C-alpha cells in the first residue's frame, strides 16, 4: 500500500509539473514581441520622442504590426496572407493606427551612409523565427501615399533564415541595400514566427545617402527632437561636445518669446535656424540627395565639420515651473463608513490647470488600500476612490502634475474609516505589487472579493506569472490558479 501510494503521489506531482510547464510555455508565447533597434524603427523613434503623435506606439513599440504572415502575397486580412494594405505599419491594430500615416515629412528619417547595413532586433520575448525578411519601397514610390504592397518591391532584398529557433536580441542581420535605392525609402522588416499564424511588420524610415558619403565633409552629430510644447520664458539649448568635453563656443540657446514659438515643431525650427546663423562649421536641418541641409518644422538633424571638433550635440530644455499652478483636495469628509471592508470614497479636487491626478489612500501602516488616476481640467472635479481596508486612521494623498510635466502639486489630508472591516488581512489588491509576490503573500482578488495566499516554493514562482492576456495563474480566476495560490 505504501509503495502504491508513493507511486501515485509521484505521478500526480509529475502531472502537476507538466501542467505548470505547459501553462508557462503558453504564457511566454503571449509575451512574444519585438522591434528593430538598429537602425531604429518608426515605432521605436515614437518611444524615444523623435516621432510625435504616435498613439499607443510610444508606449509599446514592441507590440506594433503583429498580424497574419505571408507578405506580400494575398489581398490582406485572410489567414496567411499578410497585413491589410494601408495598415501595414499598425498591423490593423486600432491603438497603433497612427503609425499608418504616411507623407514625405511625417516621420524622422535615419541616414544610411553604407549599403552594407546591419539590422538588429530587440525582443521583449521571442517566438521561434522561421525567417526575417527586409523589403524596401520601389524606385519612384510615392512617399505621400499610404503604405501598401504596391509600395514595395515584390521580393525582399535580404532574407535571414531562422530555422524555427528562438532568435537572440541584438544578433546582427547583415544585408546589402540595392544600388538603385537612394534618398527617402521605407524598409519593411518582417519577422515571421514559427508557432503562430502571425508575423511582425516593423517599418524603418531611412534617407539613403550611401553614394553621397556626406558631401562637403559633414558628419552627423545629433538631432533636435521636438518632444514637447514650451511656454513663453522657456529656453532650449543645443549643447556641443568634443572629445574633451562640452564646448561652449558651439553651443546655441534660444528663448521662447511667444505662444506660437512654443509649439514643438516651431521651436525646433527656430533652434535649427539659430545654429545655422551662428556657425559656419555646424548645420541643422534635413539633407537632400545633393547634400543641402535645410531646417524644417519638426525633427532636424545636426552636422559638423571636422575642424570644429564637435562630435556630439545634446538638446536641453529649460522649462520654468508654472508658479501660478495650484491643486488641492477641496471636499473631503472627516469620516467614511466601510461596508464589509469596502467603500467608494467620494471627494473633490480643485485645480486651476489641466492636470494628471493620482489619488492614493494609505492605512495607518502606510499600506496602499485604494488608488485612482484621472486627467482633469480646470475647476472642481469629483473623484471616487474604491477602497478596501479596515477601520482606523488613514491618509489621503493627492498628486497633480500639469500635462507638460513641468509642475507638480501635492495635498495630503487625514481621514478616518469606521464601520465593518473585510475580516481577512491582505498585503496587496491583485495585481498591485506583483513583482514582490513571494511565499505567504496575501492578495485580495477584486473580481471575487476573496483573499488568496501564495503557496510555498517552488509553486510560489508562479504567483508572479500574470498579464491581462495571459492570466492562467491569476488567483481565483485563472485556469491554473490552484497551482500557485491557496484561498483563505
Query: Is residue 356 domain-shared with residue 281, that is, in the same domain?
Result: no
Query: Is residue 257 domain-shared with residue 285, that is, in the same domain?
Result: yes
Residue 472 within any structural domain of the chain: no
DSSP, collapsed to helix, strand or coil, labels residue 18 as: helix
Q: 463-469, long-range: CB within 8 Å, 24+ apart, which pairs?
A: 463/434, 463/437, 463/438, 464/434, 464/435, 464/437, 465/23, 465/24, 465/27, 466/431, 466/434, 467/27, 467/30, 467/31, 469/30
Q: Determine the pLDDT at residue 274.
A: 97
CA distances from 222 to 267, 301, 312, 316 (A): 17, 6, 6, 13
Query: Is residue 141 domain-shared with residue 239, that is, in the same domain?
Result: no
- Among 304, 283, 307, residue whose Cα is nearest residue 293: 283
Q: Determine the pLDDT at residue 463.
A: 92
Instruction: Yes or no: say if 454 and 485 are a contact pair by the CB < 8 Å rule.
Output: yes
DSSP, collapsed to helix, strand or coil, labels residue 307 as: helix
Q: Determine the pLDDT at residue 98.
A: 93
The CB-side HSE value for 259 (13 A sphere, CA atoms) comes to: 0
- Strand blocks (E) in 197-341: 198-208, 219-224, 235-242, 245-246, 252-255, 282-287, 293-294, 300-304, 312-318, 327-331, 335-338
CATH number for the domain harbouring residue 298? 3.30.70.2150
- Among 238, 244, 235, 139, residue whose Cα is nearest residue 183: 139
Cis peptide leading into 458, omega within 30 of 0? yes
286 in the Ramachandran plot: left (φ > 0), alpha (ψ -120 to 50) or beta? beta
DSSP, collapsed to helix, strand or coil, labels residue 214 as: coil
Q: Which three cell numbers stand for residue 135?
A: 523589403
Residues 6+ apart with CB under 8 A from 21: none
Query: Is residue 236 domain-shared with residue 190, that is, in the same domain?
Result: no
Query: Is residue 283 domain-shared with residue 332, that is, in the same domain?
Result: no
Query: Is residue 363 domain-shared with residue 413, that is, in the same domain?
Result: yes
Query: Is residue 71 domain-shared with residue 201, that is, in the same domain?
Result: yes
DSSP, collapsed to helix, strand or coil, labels residue 11 as: helix
Q: Which three cell numbers stand for residue 167?
A: 532568435
CATH number for the domain harbouring residue 409? 2.60.40.2550
CATH number for the domain harbouring residue 64? 2.70.50.50
- Residue 346 CB: number of other CB atoms within 10 A? 13
Instruction: Yes or no: say if 285 and 272 are a contact pair by the CB < 8 Å rule.
Output: yes
Domain count, the chain: 3
- Among 359, 467, 374, residue whose Cα is nearest residue 415: 359
Instruction: Yes or no: say if 355 and 327 are a contact pair by the CB < 8 Å rule.
Output: yes
Residue 221 belongs to domain spanning: 215-318
Q: Which regions in the chain score pLDDT beneath 50?
A: 1-31, 75-79, 213
Q: Which of 419, 438, 461 is the last residue of a domain?
A: 419
Residue 478 within any structural domain of the chain: no
Residue 433 within any structural domain of the chain: no
Q: Which three cell numbers stand for residue 462?
A: 508562479
- Among 156, 25, 41, residue whose Cα is nearest residue 89: 41
Residue 154 within any structural domain of the chain: yes
The pLDDT tens digits of the residues spanning 319-338 come to 888 888 999 999 999 999 99
The pLDDT tens digits of the residues spanning 328-375 come to 999 999 999 998 888 999 999 999 999 999 999 999 888 888 899 999
DSSP, collapsed to helix, strand or coil, labels residue 470 as: strand
CA distance 305 to 355: 44
Query: Is residue 265 domain-shared with residue 313, that is, in the same domain?
Result: yes
- Residue 342 CB: number of other CB atoms within 10 A? 19
Residues 6+ apart with CB under 8 A from 15: none
Query: Is residue 123 domain-shared with residue 258, that is, in the same domain?
Result: no
Query: Is residue 226 domain-shared with residue 200, that is, in the same domain?
Result: no
Find the helix or strand (DSSP H, E) in which 371 lies: strand 368-376
Q: Determine the pLDDT at residue 15.
A: 35
Cβ-based burial of 94 (10 A; exposed 0-12, middle 13-18, buried ≥19):
exposed
Residue 404 within any structural domain of the chain: yes
DSSP, collapsed to helix, strand or coil, labels residue 445 as: strand
Instruction: Yes or no: say if 363 and 371 are a contact pair by the CB < 8 Å rule.
Output: no
CA distances from 405 to 191, 227, 232, 354 (A): 36, 12, 16, 11
Instruction: Yes or no: say if 227 and 264 are a contact pair by the CB < 8 Å rule.
Output: yes
Query: Is residue 170 domain-shared with residue 129, that is, in the same domain?
Result: yes
Q: Determine the pLDDT at residue 223.
A: 86
Give phi and psi for 265, each to the nearest 5. Answer: -70, -25
Query: Is residue 349 domain-shared with residue 220, that is, in the same domain?
Result: no
Residue 7 within any structural domain of the chain: no
Residue 1 within any structural domain of the chain: no
Give phi and psi for 280, each to the nearest 5. Answer: -80, -25
Amino acid at each position: 500500500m505504501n509503495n502504491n501510494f508513493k507511486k501515485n503521489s509521484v505521478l500526480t506531482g509529475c502531472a502537476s509539473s507538466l501542467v505548470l510547464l505547459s501553462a508557462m510555455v503558453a504564457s511566454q508565447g503571449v509575451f512574444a514581441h519585438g522591434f528593430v533597434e538598429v537602425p531604429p524603427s518608426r515605432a521605436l523613434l515614437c518611444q524615444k520622442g523623435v516621432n510625435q503623435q504616435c498613439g499607443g506606439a510610444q508606449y509599446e513599440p514592441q507590440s506594433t504590426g503583429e498580424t497574419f504572415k505571408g507578405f506580400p502575397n494575398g489581398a490582406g486580412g485572410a489567414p496567411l496572407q499578410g497585413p491589410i494594405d494601408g495598415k501595414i505599419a499598425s498591423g490593423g491594430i486600432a491603438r497603433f493606427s497612427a503609425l499608418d500615416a504616411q507623407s514625405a515629412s511625417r516621420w524622422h528619417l535615419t541616414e544610411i551612409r553604407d549599403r552594407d547595413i546591419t539590422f538588429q532586433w530587440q525582443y521583449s520575448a521571442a517566438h521561434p523565427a522561421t525567417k526575417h525578411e527586409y523589403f524596401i519601397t520601389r524606385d519612384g514610390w510615392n512617399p505621400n501615399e499610404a503604405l501598401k504592397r504596391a509600395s514595395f518591391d515584390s521580393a525582399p532584398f535580404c532574407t535571414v533564415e531562422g530555422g524555427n529557433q528562438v532568435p537572440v536580441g541584438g544578433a546582427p542581420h547583415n544585408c546589402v541595400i540595392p544600388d538603385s535605392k537612394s534618398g527617402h525609402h521605407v524598409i519593411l522588416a518582417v519577422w515571421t514566427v514559427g508557432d503562430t499564424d502571425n508575423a511582425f511588420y516593423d517599418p524603418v524610415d531611412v534617407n539613403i545617402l550611401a553614394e553621397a558619403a556626406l558631401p562637403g565633409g559633414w558628419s552627423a552629430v545629433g538631432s533636435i527632437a521636438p518632444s514637447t510644447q514650451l511656454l513663453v520664458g522657456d529656453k532650449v539649448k543645443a549643447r556641443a561636445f568634443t572629445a574633451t568635453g562640452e564646448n561652449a563656443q558651439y553651443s546655441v540657446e534660444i528663448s521662447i518669446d511667444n505662444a506660437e514659438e512654443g509649439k514643438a515643431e516651431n521651436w525646433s525650427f527656430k533652434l535649427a535656424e539659430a545654429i545655422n546663423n551662428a556657425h559656419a562649421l555646424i548645420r541643422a536641418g534635413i539633407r537632400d540627395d545633393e547634400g543641402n541641409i535645410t531646417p524644417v518644422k519638426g525633427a532636424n538633424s545636426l552636422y559638423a565639420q571636422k575642424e570644429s571638433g564637435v562630435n556630439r550635440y545634446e538638446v536641453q530644455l529649460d522649462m520654468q515651473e508654472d508658479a501660478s499652478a495650484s491643486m488641492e483636495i477641496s471636499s473631503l469628509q472627516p469620516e467614511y463608513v466601510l461596508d464589509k471592508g469596502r467603500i467608494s470614497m467620494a471627494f473633490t479636487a480643485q485645480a486651476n490647470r489641466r492636470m494628471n491626478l493620482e489619488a492614493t489612500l494609505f492605512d495607518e501602516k502606510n499600506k496602499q488600500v485604494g488608488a485612482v488616476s484621472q486627467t482633469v481640467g480646470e475647476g472642481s472635479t469629483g473623484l471616487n476612490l474604491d477602497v478596501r481596508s479596515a477601520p482606523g486612521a488613514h491618509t489621503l494623498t493627492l498628486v497633480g502634475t500639469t500635462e507638460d510635466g513641468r509642475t507638480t502639486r501635492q495635498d495630503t489630508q487625514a481621514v478616518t474609516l469606521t464601520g465593518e472591516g473585510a475580516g481577512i488581512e491582505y498585503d496587496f489588491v491583485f495585481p498591485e505589487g506583483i513583482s514582490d509576490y513571494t511565499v505567504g503573500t496575501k492578495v485580495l482578488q477584486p473580481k471575487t472579493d476573496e483573499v488568496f495566499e501564495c503557496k510555498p516554493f517552488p509553486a510560489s514562482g508562479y504567483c508572479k506569472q500574470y498579464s491581462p492576456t495571459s492570466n492562467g495563474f491569476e488567483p481565483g480566476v485563472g485556469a491554473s490558479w490552484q497551482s500557485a495560490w491557496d484561498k483563505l
